[in-house]
Amino acid sequence: MFHWSKWKKRMGASISSSSSKRPVFDEKEDVNFDHFQILRAIGKGSFGKVCIVQKRDTEKMYAMKYMNKQQCVERDEVRNVFRELEILQEIEHAFLVNLWYSFQDEEDMFMVVDLLLGGDLRYHLQQNVQFTEETVKLYICEMASALDYLRSQHIIHRDVKPDNILLDEQGHAHLTDFNIATIIRDGERATALAGTKPYMAPEIFHSFLNGGTGYSFEVDWWSLGVMAYELLRGWRPYDIHSNSPVESLVQLFSTVSVQYVTGWSKDTVALLRKLLTVNPEHRFSSLASIQTSSYLSNVDWDEICEKKVEAGFVPNKGRLHCDPTFELEEMILESRPLHKKKRGLQRINPGIIARIAHNRKTTTSRIAWKQFSKILSFLTEKSKFRKML
């Protein structure tokens, strides 16, 4: 068994999380792979693989997400990766997994983010954790705060689900994985069929099938409702799978009613009904609207935002909440494990970086990423990529 608390004490390290004060670093610092010690692999994500790292100078620990460039091209994921980086560079919130650094070498792209070791909600569902109404209530409040912030930044996440909600050591929820997120400006609507089908809102399927007017921020709040229902009951409100035909889903939402457990409080059911309203115009889809719910009438939102409300479920600090096979997979299946890879890092004039990084919260080099986007543009025969900074 992996004893996280003993390991942390042995390392004498502090964990970087969104609730802690960020360290002051020299804005001229050219952060790269050599600045980090690889400790162990902990998972996979849409961006690639994830490992725990320790920054050598500050001894702070983070999660490092990395993806092989060639695989990125082969999987046609270039746009999504750059969009995720573009979004993460511009946002920061108590209930998001925030970006600290990003860089690249000859083979891989890296994002260094908050390290949250409480595991994701999918993992805890699979461990048969029984979430109480009070526990789920806190998750709803924290995610409502995060989604309202994203809306203020014109961002639709499009993949809110238990897999993408990470817990910190105190049991507070953080939204991660902006791989399929999108930015829409005033008056714009999204139209792509994007997301994880069981959590996607009805209007996404309707727009795709019937060429409707598209969809907006309301879709994330539907996903929040599906997730909250699943945490309380152990399964989702609709029997939808990844291979379910879009045509059948449009019909499903118009003919099948959600069944609520008689033992749930009336206020809980009332809130879930407002989140799982098929018509997006009548759905709770902002912090202001959800605050009108009697279910949340006694919530102190200042304490929520400051993480002063004690979580009903606190992950066991004596273990690492992830699949232990990730470490074996990294060591055995990978032809070139990350901890043994050669450091072929691009070297850029520090003066250029200082000017580029001025007043930025990350040390990503615009020049390096712009150069890489040109390379990927050529390889994938794409002509346009968003500017990274």
Annotated binding site for ATP: 65
Contacts of 254 (CB under 8 A, 6+ apart): 278
Catalytic residue among 148, 159, 168, 177: 159
Contact status, residue 204 vs residue 193, Cβ threshold 8 Å: yes
Which segments are annotated as binding site?
65
Q: Is 34 a catalytic residue?
A: no
Which one, of 323, 326, 379, lies nearest residue 48 by Cα? Answer: 326
Instruction: Give, in order, the Cα–Cα distances in Å from 55 to each of 33, 61, 63, 112, 133.
Output: 10, 6, 10, 10, 39
In degrees, rounded to 5, the angle at the alpha carbon of residue 36 between the alpha carbons of residues 30 and 37 is: 160
Q: What is the DSSP string of 114-163?
A: ----S-BHHHHHHTT----HHHHHHHHHHHHHHHHHHHHTTEE----SGG
Distance CA 97, CA 90 (A): 13
Max CA-CA distance within the chain?
Answer: 65
Give the type of residue at 162: P
In degrees, rounded to 5, the angle at the alpha carbon of residue 117 between the alpha carbons of residues 218 and 290 is: 25
Catalytic residues, by residue number, are 159
